[in-house]
Amino acid sequence: MSPRGAGPDQPKPPAPGKPPVVGVEKVTCACGHEADLPLFDDRRDRLYRDVRRKKLAAGPCPDCRRQAHAELTARQQAEAARRKAARPAPPAPKQKASQPPAGRLPDGSEFRVTYDAAAERWVGTLTVPTPEGGKAFEGEAGAVFRLLGLLDRRYRAWLAAQATPSAGGAAGGSGGAGG
Ligand SMILES: [Zn+2]
């Protein structure tokens, strides 16, 4: 084939549209550091060199500008993270507030409620079947639903007490067994 002559040592040609840099001038920036002001061919640069020099001197040097930018970015990220953390979590799905306690009344349970107009009270009983023949819970309340709930809770309290073995209970008789 035809090997090209361009070796790695060849000087880089100037980028198209940009004049070649003929020198560098040190300019003191607003931050106090020195920065390089590239100088171009006098004929092309005479008008703009002073403008560029003033512009460079008016602001921070490239290093400081980079650092300021990095600090600004870090600050914005920290701020965003803080805002995200401060945002209240989405509310958890609400449990139904008036859910009755788990478990249903036994089969054949009976509410018997009567309204006493003079007293403006509901009076009633809840009877649940038991092996012993039934257990009644009595109560009264101003509202019928409140009364039903009250009787229901009384039944459940009793049920819980049944499940808990009583400490002081003495079972069985002592005495002369034998025979
Ligand atoms: Zn600086």
Going from the Cα of 66 to the center of ligand 1, the distance in angstroms, rounded, reads: 9
Reported as a pLDDT band with limits 50, 70 and 90, residue 152 is: very high
Output the pLDDT for position 94. Answer: 67
Residues 152 and 109: their CA atoms lie apart, in Å, by: 10
Residue 107 is classified by DSSP as: T
| pTM recorded for the entire structure | 0.37
Output the pLDDT for position 174. Answer: 45
Going from the Cα of 64 to the center of ligand 1, the distance in angstroms, rounded, reads: 4
Going from the Cα of 62 to the center of ligand 1, the distance in angstroms, rounded, reads: 7
Residue 99 is classified by DSSP as: P
Going from the Cα of 175 to the center of ligand 1, the distance in angstroms, rounded, reads: 103
Going from the Cα of 31 to the center of ligand 1, the distance in angstroms, rounded, reads: 5
Output the pLDDT for position 177. Answer: 43
| Residue 6 in this model has a pLDDT that exceeds 70 | no
Output the pLDDT for position 8. Answer: 53
Residue 44 is classified by DSSP as: H
pLDDT digits (tens, 9 = 90+) for 54-113: 999 999 999 999 999 999 999 999 999 999 888 877 777 766 555 445 678 888 999 999
Going from the Cα of 34 to the center of ligand 1, the distance in angstroms, rounded, reads: 7
Ligand 1 (ion): which residues have CB within 5 A? 31, 33, 61, 64
Output the pLDDT for position 175. Answer: 45
**Cα torsion 117, 119, 122, 124: sign:** negative
**DSSP letter string over 110-132?**
EEEEEEETTTTEEEEEEEE--TT
Domain parsing of the chain, residue ranges: 21-83, 110-163
Going from the Cα of 60 to the center of ligand 1, the distance in angstroms, rounded, reads: 5
Going from the Cα of 158 to the center of ligand 1, the distance in angstroms, rounded, reads: 82
User: What are the phi and psi torsion angles at 28 (to 5°)?
Assistant: -85, 125
Going from the Cα of 21 to the center of ligand 1, the distance in angstroms, rounded, reads: 23
| Residue 178 in this model has a pLDDT that exceeds 70 | no
Reported as a pLDDT band with limits 50, 70 and 90, residue 173 is: very low
pLDDT digits (tens, 9 = 90+) for 27-53: 999 999 999 999 988 887 878 899 999
